[in-house]
Amino acid sequence: MHAMIAKRRARGFTLLEVLIALLLFTISLVGFAGSMAVSLRSGNIASVRTQATFLAQMIEDRMRANPAAVIAGTYNGTFNFSSGAPSNVCTTGCTSAQIADLDTKLWGQMLGRSMPNGQGVIDCTLAPAPAGAAVRTAPWGLCRVTITWGEQAESGSRGGNIGTRVGRFDWVFNP
């Protein structure tokens, strides 16, 4: 015996199914767009933090190449894009102070160009020289390089207004 299969016509259900599928598709697209926005913002923040690490290591290398200026405290200060051009650009026979001036001014300009509202602070605290020592030997103490910048941040728990927060990177080393 053959089983009889009754054919029924679905009336009105296909339109409802299409509308539900369209609603689900729209919700998934909104979720995807939101995740892309978060991904882009996170990528931008990671890029700036990588740049901060690079700039901190760069000034550390310059300071280690010029220990006399580190000991004299010439590198200490706050630097940003408005630090200006180096006062005396020398080509030969430069003093350690002139080299430090060039290093910090160029570093400040790089901070301002590569980071939003970038600013750097260098603070070296030197250890006292050993008793009876004519020349200081490394390590002389600790230097802290602090780099700050502005980055976008969401205010509130669910989106809303986007504000600005300060990103910060600290680098501590022996000169």
Report pTM: 0.70
In a domain, 61, yes or no: yes
Range of the domain at 145: 14-130+137-173
In a domain, residue 9? The reply is: no
Within a domain: 63: yes
For the segment 40-57, the average pLDDT, to the nearest whole number, is 88
Nearest residue to 114 via CA among 56, 62, 57, 48: 48
Q: What is the pLDDT of residues 106-136, one digit of tens each?
A: 999 999 888 888 999 999 998 776 777 666 6
What mean pLDDT comes out for the span 93-108? 91
**8 found inside a domain:** no
Reply yes or no on whether the pLDDT at 1 is more than 70: no
Q: Is residue 4 a part of any domain in this protein? A: no
Please state the domain count of the chain: 1
Residue 134 has what pLDDT? 64
CA-wise closest residue to 145 among 166, 118, 173: 173
Neighbours of 147 (CB within 10 A): 26
Q: What is the pLDDT of residue 165?
A: 79
